[in-house]
Structure 1
Amino acid sequence: MLKTRFWGVRGTIACPYDSYMKYGGNTSCVTVQCDDTLLVFDSGTGILPLGNKLMANGNVNGSGNISVFFSHTHWDHISGFPFFKPAYAPNFNLDLYCGNLKKHGSSIFEVLSHQMANPTFPVPIDILQAKMQYHDFDAGENIKLSDEIHLDTCLLNHPKGATGYRVNFKGISVCYVTDTEHKKDGLDENILKLIENTDLFIYDSTYTEEEYPNFEGWGHSTWQEGVRLSKEAGVKNYAIFHHDPSHDDDFMDEVELDAKKTLASAFVAKEGMEIEFNGTCSGIKFGKFDDKP
C-alpha cells in the first residue's frame, strides 16, 4: 500500500488567510508512505502539522525512521524544519537527502545549520536530539532505500538547481517535481523520462500561461505545461502544486475547472488531501486527511 498526503501545497510564502483555506496556506511538504516506511518531500511550513501528528502517535508505525528529501533549499522549502518536533526527539531517526548543493560546494547540513543560527534563530542545530544522517548527492543519481523502495532523480531547471524525485514501490510510482521552469523550445526530456507512465505526477504549476511572461527566469512553470507533460508521458494523475500566494481559493477553483477541460485526471492539490494506491493502482482514494491525534 502506498499513500500520498499533502501537508503544504503553497509556494513562495505561507498564506494564513480565510480566502486560502480550501486549498491551504502552508508551503511545500508532501509525504509518501510505503507500507511502514515514511518519506517526506520538502520541509516548508506544512511539516509542522506533520510533526505534531507524528509526535502524537509517538513514532512512525513503530519504527521512528523518517527520510526527508529536499527538492532544494529555498526558504519556502526549508522554513518549517526548525519547528519539526520529531527532530528534537531522541526516539526518531532522520535521514536528510539533497541533490542540488554538492556541486556548488555546499551541503544540506551546512544550509540547515545556517538557518538555525544567530541572528535569525535562537538555538543552534546541535540542540536537535534525533539521530540525524545527512546525504548529499548529485541530481540524476538513483537512491535505494530498501529492496522494495527505489528513487529515481533528475536535475530541474531552477536557480542553483533543484531535484525531481520518482518513488517506485511495488509497481506503483509517485513523482514529485518542483521547483522547475519549462523550456521554450519543447518539453523537458529529463522530466519526461522521470515521469513516464507514473501513477501520480506532482508538478510545479505556480503560474498560468497568461501570467508566466511576467515571471520568466524565476524558475517556475504553469499548469498548462503540466498538462502537456502528462499527456506526452502517459501520466495517470496530475496534481497541480506549488500554488502562487496571489492565487486564492476562487482562483484555484477556476484553475481546476480549466485544467480538467484538457486533462480529466488533473486536479488541484489541497492541504490535507490523501491519495491511496492499492495493489497496482487499481483504485485511488481521495479524502480529507484528519490530522487530529
Structure 2
Amino acid sequence: MEMSPSSVAANPLDFPHPSEPIERIDDFVVQFWGVRGSIPTPGKDTVRYGGNTSCLEMRIGGKRLIFDGGTGLRMLGEQLQQEMPVEAYMFFTHYHWDHIQGFPLFAPAFIPGNCFHIYGAIPADSESMKRHFIERVLHPNSPVPLQGIQADLRFYELKRHETMMLDDIEIRTGSLNHPNTAMGYRITWRGKSVVYCSDTEHFPDRLDENVYELALDADVLIYDAMYTDEEYHNPKSPKVGWGHSTWQEAVKMAQAARVKRVVIFHHDPAHSDEVLDRIGEEVQHVFPKAVMAREGLILPIGL
C-alpha cells in the first residue's frame, strides 16, 4: 500500500493539529511522541517536555516507521486517524511496560483497512513473534478485548546484529545492555543515518562496542540518558545496574563515534521541566549540537 507524504507542523515543537495547515514532505523526519522512561508522568511539572513514555516516529521517503509503543503511541494514533488508511512499520527495542503501554490503546489497530508490520526480537522460549506479542505482550496487559483488533497485523522476528532492507531503507540492529536485553536500531536512507539506543547502560571501563558500531558517523544518535553522572553514582541511591545511562555518557559516545547530533532521551520520571532545562544547558555547553527530546519535537535529518 502506498502512503501519501507525511506532514509537519509549522512550529517544529508542536504537534500537528488536524485543523491547521500542514506542510507536505517526502523526506527523512523524526518526530517524538513519548520521551519519558519507566512510567508516565503527567502533571504541571512535565508539561513542556512531556510525560508520555517511549515512542518515536520516522517518516522516510513516504514510509512511516514507529519505534516502541509507550503511552506516546496513543497520541500518535490520534494523529493517524486523520490520515487513514494507514500502513506503518513498528519496531520494538524490548517489552518492558514503558515501551508497550500504548499499544492496547492505539486506535488505528482497532480499525479495519489499516496495516501494521511489527518487528522485534523474541525470547528463546517463544515459538514466534506473533505468539509472543499476542500472548505475552498484549493479552496479560490489555484492558481492551483483543478480538477488537481489526487492523491487519503482520509479525516479523529480528535478530541482533543483522541488517534488513525496507525497500531502499536500511535497518541494522544491535545489542543493548539492559535487563532482559534490548535491541538498538540504525536506520539509513540516502546516506543519512539515525540511531535509536534506548534502553541501555554504559560500561564503567570502556565504550559499549555495540552502541559504538551502530552510532559510528551517524547524523543523529538518540540515546538513553536517564540520569546524570551524580545520580548514577549517588552513594545513597546508586543507579548502577538499572539498565540506563547518563547524558555525560551520551556525549562521550557521540564524540567518540563522530556523531553530528545527539538527542538526550528517556527522561527520568523524577526530572521536572526545570531539571531538564538545567541538564540541557549543561549538555549544550559540552556538545552544542545536542538536543533535549520533548514531545512534539520534529527533527529533519540532513538539513
After TM superposition, the score normalised by the length of structure 2 is: 0.86
Q: 1:25 aligns with which of 40, 51, 64?
A: 51
CA contact (8 A) 1:158 1:180 kept: yes
State the match for 1:267 in structure 2. 291
Q: 2:264 aligns with which of 240, 251, 257?
A: 240
Q: Give, in whole Å, the separation in 2 of the partners of 1:221 and 1:2.
A: 27
1:149 equivalent in alignment to 2:169: yes
1:90 counterpart SS class: coil
Q: 1:162 aligns with which of 160, 182, 190?
A: 182
1:53 equivalent in alignment to 2:53: no
Q: 1:68 aligns with which of 61, 65, 90?
A: 90
State the match for 1:249 in structure 2. 273
Deviation at 1:190, TM superposition (A): 0.9
CA RMSD of aligned residues (A): 1.4
Q: 1:80 aligns with which of 87, 102, 107?
A: 102
Q: Give, in whole Å, the separation in 1 of the partners of 2:224 and 2:128.
A: 24
The runs of 5 or more residues in structure 2 that have no matched partner are 1-26
CA distance 1:106–1:266, change in 2 (3 Å) = farther
Deviation at 1:102, TM superposition (A): 3.8
**Counterparts in 2 of 1:110-259, with a 5 A limit?**
110-117=132-139, 120-146=141-167, 148-213=168-233, 214-259=238-283
State the match for 1:38 in structure 2. 64
State the match for 1:286 in structure 2. none
CA contact (8 A) 2:104 2:144 kept: no
CA contact (8 A) 1:102 1:138 kept: no
CA distance 1:125–1:140, change in 2 (3 Å) = farther
Alignment coverage as a number of residue pairs: 272
Deviation at 1:127, TM superposition (A): 2.5
Q: Give, in whole Å, the separation in 2 of the partners of 1:198 and 1:50.
A: 26
Q: Give, in whole Å, the separation in 2 of the partners of 1:17 and 1:44.
A: 17
User: Aligned residues: percent identity?
Assistant: 39
Deviation at 1:143, TM superposition (A): 1.6
After TM superposition, the score normalised by the length of structure 1 is: 0.89
CA contact (8 A) 2:104 2:143 kept: no
